[in-house]
Amino acid sequence: MRLTKFYLPVMKETPSEAQIASHRLMLRAGMMRQEGAGIYAWLPLGFRVLKKIEQIVREEQDRAGAVEMLMPTIQQADLWRESGRYDAYGKEMLRIEDRGGREMLFGPTNEEMITEIVRAGMRSYKDLPKLLYHIQWKFRDEVRPRFGVMCGREFLMKDAYSFDFDDESGRRSYNKMFAAYLRTFERMGLKAIPMRAETGPIGGDLSHEFIILADTGESAVFCDKRLIEMPVPQKDTDFDGDLQSIVDQFTAHYAATDEMHDEAEFEKTVEEENRIAARGIEVGHIFFFGTKYSKPMKAMVAGSDGKDVPIQMGSYGVGVSRLVGGLIEAFHDDDGCKWPMAVTPFHAGLVNLKAGDAETDEACEKIYRELEAAGVEVLYDDTPARPGEKFARMDLIGLPYQIVIGPRGVKSGNAELKRRSDGEREDIALDAVASHVSALVRDALVYD
């Protein structure tokens, strides 16, 4: 992508309304623009990150055996009356009336709708188990939308739903999502720790929040340090096999959010040197709630004895748009973002220090073509801006590698390669730089 074609409205000044790094950087780097309280337009740079996160989430859901679908954003109030949540949900729900006077709402979540969908299509225990998911925008009229995409009103969520015949099978589905989440966040470069959590308005008794540690997080969390080093399930994990040992391994150590925290138990079960009391960002939340929706909404299947029983259900959310902010909180410095390769908007930036100079242009164009041909996503700064401005902009948007080429380099036959994560620089021959960078990108994207 040529920067002259792209739309990258970077800001020089720090926006005063932004209190945390990710919010500031997303605005400054031209990733998004606020269009209302807690409502954001995703500009091209931010949208690329959002799509990559979404794709990792999708791949790991698919690997775990979940099946993708898409439900609408707008729902009918009557559906929510069946579960009893229409009144219970309160002011967080955005209520709408259509031209016929029918009460509608912008979905804050989809338990009711998915229950309605499966009760129409599932008849027998033989139709179970099933795991369905979608990645769709939600609206919650949060009291205090803040911190940019971290707590928005309109936000993108992956929500999956499990359907099982009995409690035991339901817990197996829960374990699949538990294991899938460990992989999902790790692939993005994040350590998300599953913590005992309250079930809140979704209901049920088995629930974990997946939390990444960050000083700017909204929840106070308490956990055993050893959880951070715990290896996550490998690519070849059999998701149809028994995953209980994986779940047991993670839940054996203390980890709880403040609502569920028990200080006495924490002190008793975790040695002092292993205790972490920190702040965290909730990036995922899983629940097993049995028949909470299937019973009132009469989503039943016949067992082998022919008797109807309500389906056992769970729901499993990932904050896809929140993760963009969460990743920046985890990976940035004073100059800007420092994207991990798996989610970066482009793998590399190519900086032409003297656009308009025939020889420099020619060298850059050649490397640009080579990189694109090798499948490297490259943002080519072909603008006439001054070098200082170009360097600052590249650091701000935080691509993992910067390839810098100017008239002096062309003369000596070298490009300068800078690694954004630690600022390390090296000179690489112009005719070798594209293959060198493409190998670095390829290696960084291998994930087992």
Binding footprint of Mg ion on the chain (CB under 5 A): 285
Identify the H or E element spanning 442: helix 433-445
Q: In this complex, which beta carbon is closest to ligand ATP, that of residue 57 or of residue 355?
A: 57
Residue 292 contact among ligand ATP, Mg ion, none, beta carbon within 5 to 8 Å by kind: none
Q: Which window, 148-156, 296-304, 375-383, 422-430, contacts ligand ATP (CB under 6 A)?
A: 148-156
Q: In this complex, which beta carbon is closest to Mg ion, that of residue 285 or of residue 322?
A: 285
Residue 293 contact among Mg ion, ligand ATP, none, beta carbon within 5 to 8 Å by kind: none
Q: In this complex, which beta carbon is closest to ligand ATP, that of residue 40 or of residue 165?
A: 40
Residue 24 contact among ligand ATP, Mg ion, none, beta carbon within 5 to 8 Å by kind: none
Q: In this complex, which beta carbon is closest to Mg ion, that of residue 282 or of residue 382?
A: 282
Minimum distance between the CB of residue 155 and ligand ATP, rounded to whole angstroms?
4
Q: In this complex, which beta carbon is closest to ligand ATP, that of residue 61 or of residue 414?
A: 61
Residue 152 contact among ligand ATP, Mg ion, none, beta carbon within 5 to 8 Å by kind: ligand ATP
Minimum distance between the CB of residue 203 and Mg ion, rounded to whole angstroms?
12
**Beta bridge partner(s), residue 286:** 208, 316
Contact set for ligand ATP, span 224-283 (CB under 6 A): 282-283
Which candidate, 9, 13, 78, 14, places its Cα nearest to that of 46? 9
Location of structure tokens 């090296």: 426
Residue 319 contact among Mg ion, ligand ATP, none, beta carbon within 5 to 8 Å by kind: ligand ATP
User: What's the rounded Cα separation, in Å, for the pair 387 and 209?
Assistant: 45
**Beta bridge partner(s), residue 280:** 213, 219
Backbone phi, psi, residue 349, to 5°:
-110, 145
Which candidate, 380, 387, 347, places its Cα nearest to that of 366? 380
255 and 212 Cβ atoms separated by less than 8 Å: no
Among 208, 285, 292, 420, binds ligand ATP (CB under 6 A): 285
Backbone phi, psi, residue 125, to 5°:
-60, -20
Q: Please work out, in degrees rounded to the nearest 5, the angle formed at the alpha carbon of residue 328 by the alpha carbons of 287 and 39.
A: 70
Identify the H or E element spanning 168: helix 167-187
**Beta bridge partner(s), residue 352:** 405
Among 42, 133, 155, 380, binds ligand ATP (CB under 6 A): 155
Among 152, 194, 349, 398, binds ligand ATP (CB under 6 A): 152
79 and 111 Cβ atoms separated by less than 8 Å: no
- Find the largest Cα–Cα distance for the chain: 83
Backbone phi, psi, residue 350, to 5°:
-120, 120
The answer to whether 151 contacts ligand ATP (rule: CB under 6 A) is: yes
Residue 118 contact among ligand ATP, Mg ion, none, beta carbon within 5 to 8 Å by kind: none
Q: How many helices (H) and strands (E) does the chain have?
A: 14, 23
161 and 114 Cβ atoms separated by less than 8 Å: yes
Q: Please work out, in degrees rounded to the nearest 5, the angle formed at the alpha carbon of residue 72 by the alpha carbons of 183 and 292.
A: 70
Within 8 A by CB and 6+ apart from 112, the residues are 75, 79, 80, 82, 83, 85, 293, 297
Residue 312 contact among Mg ion, ligand ATP, none, beta carbon within 5 to 8 Å by kind: none
The answer to whether 142 contacts ligand ATP (rule: CB under 6 A) is: yes
Among 23, 52, 322, 393, binds ligand ATP (CB under 6 A): 322
Location of structure tokens 């729901």: 315
Minimum distance between the CB of residue 183 and ligand ATP, rounded to whole angstroms?
17
Residue 157 contact among Mg ion, ligand ATP, none, beta carbon within 5 to 8 Å by kind: ligand ATP
Give Rg (Cα) of the chain.
Answer: 24
Residue 336 contact among ligand ATP, Mg ion, none, beta carbon within 5 to 8 Å by kind: none
User: What's the rounded Cα separation, in Å, for the pair 242 and 247?
Assistant: 10
- Cβ-based neighbour number of residue 63 at 10 Å: 17
User: What's the rounded Cα separation, in Å, for the pair 121 and 114?
Assistant: 11
Minimum distance between the CB of residue 107 and ligand ATP, rounded to whole angstroms?
12
Contact set for ligand ATP, span 22-41 (CB under 6 A): none
Minimum distance between the CB of residue 62 and ligand ATP, rounded to whole angstroms?
19
Minimum distance between the CB of residue 219 and ligand ATP, rounded to whole angstroms?
7
Minimum distance between the CB of residue 161 and ligand ATP, rounded to whole angstroms?
13
Q: In this complex, which beta carbon is closest to ligand ATP, that of residue 206 or of residue 283?
A: 283
The answer to whether 157 contacts ligand ATP (rule: CB under 6 A) is: yes
The answer to whether 319 contacts ligand ATP (rule: CB under 6 A) is: yes
Can you give the binding site for ligand ATP, defined by CB under 6 A?
A: 109, 140, 142, 151-152, 155, 157, 282-285, 317, 319, 321-322
